[in-house]
Amino acid sequence: MKNFLPLAYFQNQFISIEKAQVSIATHALHYGTAALGGLRGVLNPQNPSEILLFRLDRHCQRLSNSAKYLNYDLPADKIEHIITDFVLKNRPQTSFYLRPLVYTSSLGIAPRLHQIEQDFLVYGLAIADDLYPEGISCRFSSWYRQEDRSCPLKGKTSASYITSALAKTEAVESGFDEAILLNSQGKVAEASAANIFIVRNETLITPSCNQDILEGITRDSIMSIAQDLGIKTEARAVDKSELLIADEVFVCGTALKITSVNRIENYRLPDNKTITNQLKKQFTAATENKAPQYQDWITIIKLSTNQQM
């Protein structure tokens, strides 16, 4: 477990990651009755004794909302306090990824969300700043994105990620890096665990929130940045065929940040990625607290004084 941060928050206490274990009979393990979050932390390039967390408030609020689907009242400010304490106790020395998780912790065999115990945990691991610096190749998945009427897609429920796992493995084992899922109407939804954008005629386009997508925080940030840069943006239904003739395509998310798509199936996309690179530069500046207009997106945790700003 060398890439994991040494301490985890588990059962209302901080313990070593090795000791943070659940029973094989844990309800959530059997029925996917859990909801997850994910956010990045980086060392402040201007001050290595500070940790920068990107849009912590939004991540905590989304996880709090996701917990409601599990009949679990977990306030966003409580999540934020625990995550801040988690960072202070672990004192990470490199870029890292945090995984908070809410789950049904009872030991039982009946799928339900009433009369059941819930719990909350946090762990973290080191992660590279750029997972795919050269970009990725994609294929259209044979699996379809779930519909919100059968799965609460406005939250990050663990059960919904079986489709992501199937699509990702199908893509990798057939020679691609990533999958693109369509929704039940045949429109573009998202990648296996990331939102998707295209550029056509100098317009930035992404599937709208009524297309059975996750309302990504990185997605929202990119749209705000694009509008501030004077780039025309549209959120609407996107046809599969549009991706094949797009000027630029990229996927985005907490782990992937902004990652260019170089090829979809056997269609090579243009090498010129002007808007993608422009957004990537400004997004990186925002996450590193180098863009004054986005300073309210950053939570600064001071390791030296154990104070949060």
Digit-by-digit pLDDT tens for the chain (309 residues) are 679 999 999 999 999 999 999 999 999 999 999 999 999 999 999 998 999 999 999 999 999 999 999 999 999 999 999 999 999 999 999 999 999 999 999 998 899 999 999 999 999 999 988 999 999 999 999 999 999 999 999 999 999 999 999 999 999 999 999 999 999 999 999 999 999 999 999 999 999 999 999 999 999 999 999 999 999 999 999 999 999 999 999 999 999 999 999 999 999 999 999 999 999 999 999 999 999 999 999 999 999 754 444
Asked if residue 106 and residue 21 are part of one domain, the reply reads yes
Asked if residue 150 and residue 75 are part of one domain, the reply reads no
Q: In this structure, are 23 and 140 located in the same domain?
A: no
Domain identity same for 114 and 228: no
85 belongs to a structural domain = yes
Cα distance between the two ends of the chain: 31
Last residue of a domain, one of 126, 161, 176: 126
* Dihedral sign computed on CA atoms, order 17, 22, 24, 28: negative
Look at residue 307 and tell me if it is in a domain. Answer: no
How distant, in Å, are the alpha carbons of 151, 203, 273 from that of 281?
35, 18, 12
* Distant-in-sequence, close-in-space partners of 241: CB < 8 Å, separation ≥ 6: none
149: its two tokens: 């009427």
**pLDDT of the residue at 308:** 43
For residue 208, the model assigns a pLDDT of 98
For 12-95, strand residue ranges (E) read 13-16, 34-36, 39-44, 47-54
Same domain assignment for residues 145 and 210: yes
Distance (Å) of CA 81 to CA 120, 122, 128, 132: 13, 12, 25, 32
Q: Which of 98, 126, 154 is the last residue of a domain?
A: 126
255 with 171, same domain: the answer is yes
96 in the same domain as 16:
yes
Distance of CA 303 to the CA centre of its chain: 25
73: left (phi over 0), alpha (psi -120 to 50) or beta: beta
Indicate whether 107 and 154 sit together in one domain: no
Same domain? For 153 and 202 the reply is yes
Global pTM value: 0.94
Cα 178 from Cα 106, distance rounded (Å): 35
Whether 148 and 249 map to the same domain: the answer is yes
When divided into structural domains, the chain yields a total of 2
Element (H, E) at 98: strand 96-104
Whole-Å CA distances, 135 to 53, 131, 204, 260: 25, 9, 18, 5
Domain membership of residue 1 (yes or no) is no
CATH number of the domain residue 193 falls in: 3.20.10.10
Tokens of 138: 């994609």
**Domain residues for 220?**
136-272
Contact 269, 262 (CB under 8 A): yes
